[in-house]
Amino acid sequence: MQHAVRPGRILPRSFYTRPAIEVARDLLGKVLVHGPTAGIIVETEAYLGGDDLASHSAAGVTDRTRVIFGPPGHAYVYFIYGMYECLNLVAEPAGQAGCVLIRALEPLAGLDLMHRRRPAARKPEHLANGPGKLTLAMAITRAQNGADVTRGPLVVRAPHTQSEFEIAVTPRVGITKCADLPLRFLIASNRFVSPTPKTRHAVNMEKHVRLDAGSPPPLQPPDA
């Protein structure tokens, strides 16, 4: 069933002008909106500057990575595997590398449109439970690379209704460099997170906010 969407204010640039790890945690429960589609952010990964060799910024400033080193609060969208696009949100002050990969959403608005864009998704929880899936479902492409997410059609909003949830912390997924860093964050017990081959996480209770869409079912087994 489609949830009523009552998003609050657009997150200001100051939200993103902080360490990428803090931004990755605090994006959980916020609402990603693109045109008529919207979803709760339920899973993120932080990518750092400096010695984080898994980050594209490790190559320094290039035509591809220039957005990461630019002002915070902008979209960094890249193409992988010759078929998928991934959405990142730039964090840290301008000149410092850092971004947050949006890995999964709990769909809230525009579900019929998402299903048309993702006909292979048999259930709502399969529409946006992966970084390549959510960009397809929400029609986010490299055309949005560099977009200012504090204004315009692609924005992140605070939720209207607040509640608490648990955060699970795990190593990042699908990388080989710096693979053991605990930089993946997800809303525990949420069935819309991406499937993973292992569960290597410690759960910490923190006060975060999300749209009150009811109590989600237990987290699916990682091999489901």
45 CA to centre of own chain: 7
DSSP-derived pairing of the beta strands 154-157 and 31-34: antiparallel
CB atoms within 10 A of CB 167: 18
Encode the chain (224 residues) as per-residue pLDDT tens digits: 344 446 789 999 999 999 999 999 999 999 999 999 999 999 999 999 889 989 999 888 988 889 999 999 999 999 987 778 999 999 999 999 999 999 999 999 999 999 999 999 999 999 999 999 999 999 999 999 999 999 999 999 999 877 789 999 999 998 999 999 999 999 999 999 998 765 444 444 444 443 333 333 332 332 22
Distance CA 105, CA 197 (A): 19
Task: Report the b/e string of 126-137 with b at 16+ CB within 10 A.
Answer: bbbbbbbbbbbb
pTM (predicted TM-score): 0.86
The full set of domains in the chain, from first to last, is: 13-161 (3.10.300.10)
